[in-house]
């Protein structure tokens, strides 16, 4: 059994669903081959039991030969043992194949989601991505789980056909022609089933997306009294999923019924023809027993074939969804193939806006349109690129520097902080650059700078308390301050903060402003804000209009000499 997860899930073929499934199969061809061997042994052993019983009747019972009867009874016992052992091993390898395919696909999705970052939710709804991992990856594994039994079904069908043809050509031809006809008849139901399953999959993805969005905005919904509106929307979408599920169930029920009815009719037909041939003396009593047993056995490979079609259909639909996620490209790519580099503490210049960040100073950037400063932060941290005007670090273009090195050198703390489930201490220290002996002191300093000690006092175990999903137990201001502390602990050469105090009260904001300038003294810090409290502590302030620099200086100089700046930072009040 291979250890999971994989150290490297590989590079998939995203040409189409079929090519993707073939690529997954090639990655586990060893266990697939072993599973096929066990599956063939398991099902062929079952197919040969009626043959051995028929031979025992003819050569032992009818011929009154005790030795022959004992021999063929022993053959039946051996086949039973082979069937039992191979059945156990087939099941083990089938589960292994299912897990390998599902985990490999889930890893591909997880790694790609981390690599692509913000580009993914902008292209595909979050709920759709979650559904792809939790549902489609698991269903894709079912296509590889069935390979062992399907191979056994095909080989055992050929063995049965040979036995029947050697005994009676009419019966052999009936089996050779009848089984494919039955399979084809069942296949007529597969295409409408595939269409309806795809429709249900789409509805389920929309429902998951709506649920995720509702949970994320639950606090806001309660604040504005919008719970009932979203309950009604969720009920409507849930009913759409139910209706699509009922449509799938109708076709699925018809397919399940056909799997019982058609093989049953086929067995009756083969038995009736065999009985006539036995009465006419064309075949022996033992042959008749063999024919009956094989006719009953053929239900198993036939059902396996229809089950395989169903699982392949689900896997095909899932592969399409998986490929859609894996095809999303990141907004920025590393052009250095992961090379390592240490960057110098040089001026950071954005040609698009004209902003220059001088090392060792606290620079504030102001705009009447917050999206302009947020876009600047993305460019400085290389979360977005403008190929015609790349950001410069000294005399180097940052789009030609190793991406990991840029991200270590320039840390961007976004305006909507995200906390994850787990220990608060681990989250705050996840990217911290402190020595082992200085962890507690650095943690205390960062929390003090972010004015976040009151958040810890409300937690049962302080900094060692667990954080709920998305930090939903914290208010917006508490999440913002914890996120600021986390950013400060990185001790980044260049720290870019986007609206770090937009969700806190004025008294807390004043404490953060004073402590931030003191804690980052001598380090390069860029703050995207229009808060006068923060701006008053900045060494240099840059004012943007339409995304370009129109004025710069100190906060007080701009208040006195730039009316548009004064209007922006005072929110239209008299300065």
> Minimum mean pLDDT among 93-102, 155-164, 213-222: which range?
213-222
Residues 301 and 444 in one domain: no
pLDDT of residue 20: 96
* Boundaries of domain holding 177: 17-326
pLDDT of residue 41: 96
Helices assigned H by DSSP within 327-438: 370-380, 403-409, 424-428
Q: Are strands 540-545 and 524-528 parallel, antiparallel or unpaired?
A: unpaired
Average pLDDT taken over every residue of the chain: 86
Listing DSSP states for 457-505 in one string gives HTSTTGGGSEEPGGGTTS-HHHHHHHHHHHHHHT--SEEEEESTTTTS-
Top-confidence range, 114-128, 312-326, 407-421: 312-326
Q: Dump pLDDT digits (tens) for 394-442.
A: 999 999 999 889 999 999 998 777 777 788 898 888 888 887 668 888 9
Exposure string (b/e) for 121-154, b if CB count within 10 Å is 16 or more?
eeebbebbbbbbbebbbbbbbbbbbbbbbbbbbb
Residues 212 and 71 in one domain: yes
Q: Report the Cα–Cα distance between both ends of the chain, in Å, rounded.
A: 72
Q: Per the domain annotation, does 342 fall within a domain?
A: no
> How far, in Å, CA of 193 to CA of 191, rounded?
5
Q: Dump pLDDT digits (tens) for 538-551.
A: 999 999 999 999 99
Burial class (CB in 10 A: 0-12, 13-18, 19+), 436: exposed
Q: Give Rg (Cα) of the chain.
A: 35
Query: Mean pLDDT across the stretch 256-277?
Result: 77
pLDDT of residue 575: 39
Q: Dump pLDDT digits (tens) for 355-401.
A: 999 999 999 999 999 999 999 999 999 988 888 999 999 999 999 99
Residues 442 and 371 in one domain: yes
Q: Per the domain annotation, does 343 fall within a domain?
A: no
Q: Using pLDDT thresholds of 50, 70 and 90, give the confidence band for residue 216.
A: low
Going along 302-457, which residue ranges are E strands? 348-350, 355-357, 362-367, 392-393, 396-397, 410-413, 422-423
Q: Using pLDDT thresholds of 50, 70 and 90, give the confidence band for residue 282.
A: confident
Q: Dump pLDDT digits (tens) for 452-506.
A: 988 888 888 888 888 876 677 788 889 899 999 999 999 999 999 999 998 899 9
The answer to whether 339 and 184 are in contact (CB under 8 A) is no
Residues 268 and 173 in one domain: yes
> Minimum mean pLDDT among 155-169, 241-255, 309-323, 545-559: which range?
241-255
Q: Is residue 529 predicted with pLDDT exceeding 80?
A: yes
Q: Using pLDDT thresholds of 50, 70 and 90, give the confidence band for residue 142.
A: very high
Q: Per the domain annotation, does 176 fall within a domain?
A: yes
Q: Dump pLDDT digits (tens) for 397-409.
A: 999 999 889 999 9
Q: Per the domain annotation, does 384 fall within a domain?
A: yes
Residues 519 and 411 in one domain: yes
Q: Is residue 236 predicted with pLDDT exceeding 50?
A: yes
Residues 385 and 464 in one domain: yes
Query: Mean pLDDT across the stretch 107-133?
Result: 84
Burial class (CB in 10 A: 0-12, 13-18, 19+), 3: exposed
Q: Dump pLDDT digits (tens) for 165-214.
A: 888 888 778 777 777 777 677 666 666 766 676 777 667 767 776 666 65
Residues 386 and 518 in one domain: yes
Residues 229 and 282 in one domain: yes
Q: Per the domain annotation, does 575 fall within a domain?
A: no
Q: Is residue 86 predicted with pLDDT exceeding 50?
A: yes
The answer to whether 285 and 62 are in contact (CB under 8 A) is yes
Q: Using pLDDT thresholds of 50, 70 and 90, give the confidence band for residue 525.
A: very high
Query: Mean pLDDT across the stretch 245-265?
Result: 76
Residues 37 and 130 in one domain: yes
CATH number of the domain at 563, please.
3.40.50.300
Q: Per the domain annotation, does 67 fall within a domain?
A: yes
Q: Per the domain annotation, does 336 fall within a domain?
A: no
> How far, in Å, CA of 475 to CA of 542, rounded?
31
pLDDT of residue 213: 61
> How far, in Å, CA of 343 to CA of 394, rounded?
10
Q: Per the domain annotation, does 332 fall within a domain?
A: no
> How far, in Å, CA of 399 to CA of 392, rounded?
9
Residues 424 and 282 in one domain: no
CATH number of the domain at 213, please.
1.20.1560.10
Q: Is residue 322 predicted with pLDDT exceeding 90?
A: yes
Query: Which residues pair with residue 357 across a beta bridge?
Result: 348
Residues 138 and 239 in one domain: yes
CA neighbor of 481 nearest in space, from 502, 457, 507: 502
> Minimum mean pLDDT among 129-133, 224-228, 271-275, 497-501: which range?
224-228
Residues 430 and 316 in one domain: no
Give the chain's domain count: 2
**Domain finish residue from 278, 293, 326:** 326
pLDDT of residue 222: 54
Query: Which residues pair with residue 363 across a beta bridge?
Result: 526, 540
């Amino acid at each position: 059994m291979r250890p999971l997860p994989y150290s490297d899930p590989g590079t998939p073929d995203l040409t189409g669903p079929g090519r993707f499934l073939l690529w997954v199969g090639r990655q586990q061809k060893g266990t697939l081959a072993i599973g096929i061997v066990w599956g063939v042994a398991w099902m062929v052993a079952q197919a040969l039991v009626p043959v051995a019983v028929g031979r025992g009747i003819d050569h032992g019972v009818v011929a009154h030969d005790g030795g022959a009867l004992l021999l063929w009874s022993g053959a039946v016992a051996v086949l039973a043992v082979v069937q039992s052992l191979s059945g156990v091993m087939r099941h083990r390898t089938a589960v292994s194949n299912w897990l390998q395919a599902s985990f490999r696909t889930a890893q591909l999705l997880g790694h790609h989601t981390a690599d692509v970052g913000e580009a993914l939710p902008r292209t595909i709804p979050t709920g759709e991505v979650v559904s792809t991992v939790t549902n489609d990856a698991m269903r894709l594994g079912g296509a590889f789980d069935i390979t062992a039994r399907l191979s056994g079904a095909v080989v055992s069908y050929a063995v049965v056909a040979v036995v029947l043809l050697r005994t009676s050509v009419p019966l052999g031809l009936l089996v050779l022609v009848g089984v494919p006809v039955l399979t084809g008849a069942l296949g007529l139901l597969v295409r409408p089933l595939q269409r309806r399953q795809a429709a249900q999959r789409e509805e389920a993805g929309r429902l998951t997306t709506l649920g995720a969005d509702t949970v994320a905005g639950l606090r806001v919904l309660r604040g504005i009294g919008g719970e009932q509106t979203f309950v009604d929307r969720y009920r409507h979408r849930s009913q759409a999923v139910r209706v699509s599920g009922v449509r799938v169930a109708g076709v699925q029920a018809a397919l399940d019924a056909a799997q019982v009815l058609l093989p049953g009719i086929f067995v009756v037909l083969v038995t009736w023809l065999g009985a006539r041939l036995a009465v006419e003396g064309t075949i022996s009593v033992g042959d008749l027993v063999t024919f009956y047993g094989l006719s009953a056995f053929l239900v198993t490979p036939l059902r396996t074939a229809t089950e395989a079609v169903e699982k392949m259909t689900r896997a095909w639909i899932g592969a399409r969804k998986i490929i859609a996620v894996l095809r999303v490209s990141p907004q920025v790519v590393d052009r250095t193939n992961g090379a390592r580099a240490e960057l110098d503490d040089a001026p950071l210049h954005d040609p698009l806006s004209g902003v220059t960040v001088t090392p060792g100073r606290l620079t504030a950037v102001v705009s009447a349109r917050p999206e302009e400063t947020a876009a600047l932060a993305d460019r400085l941290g290389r979360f977005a690129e403008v190929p015609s005007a790349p950001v410069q670090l000294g005399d180097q273009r940052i789009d030609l520097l190793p991406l990991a090195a840029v991200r270590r050198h320039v840390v961007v703390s976004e305006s909507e902080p995200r906390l994850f489930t787990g220990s608060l201490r681990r989250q705050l220290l996840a990217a911290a650059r402190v020595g082992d002996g200085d962890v507690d002191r650095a943690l205390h300093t960062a929390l003090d700078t972010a004015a976040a000690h009151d958040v810890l006092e409300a937690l049962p175990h302080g900094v060692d308390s667990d954080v709920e999903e998305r930090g939903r137990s914290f208010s917006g201001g508490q999440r913002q301050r914890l996120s600021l502390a986390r950013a400060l602990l990185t001790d980044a050469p260049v720290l870019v903060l986007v609206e770090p105090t937009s969700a806190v009260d004025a008294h807390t904001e004043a404490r953060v402003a004073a402590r931030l300038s003191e804690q980052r003294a001598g380090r390069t810090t860029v703050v995207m804000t229009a808060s006068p409290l923060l701006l008053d502590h900045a060494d240099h302030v840059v004012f943007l209009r339409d995304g370009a620099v129109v004025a710069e200086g100190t906060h007080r100089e701009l208040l006195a000499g730039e009316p548009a700046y004064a209007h922006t930072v005072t929110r239209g009040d008299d300065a």
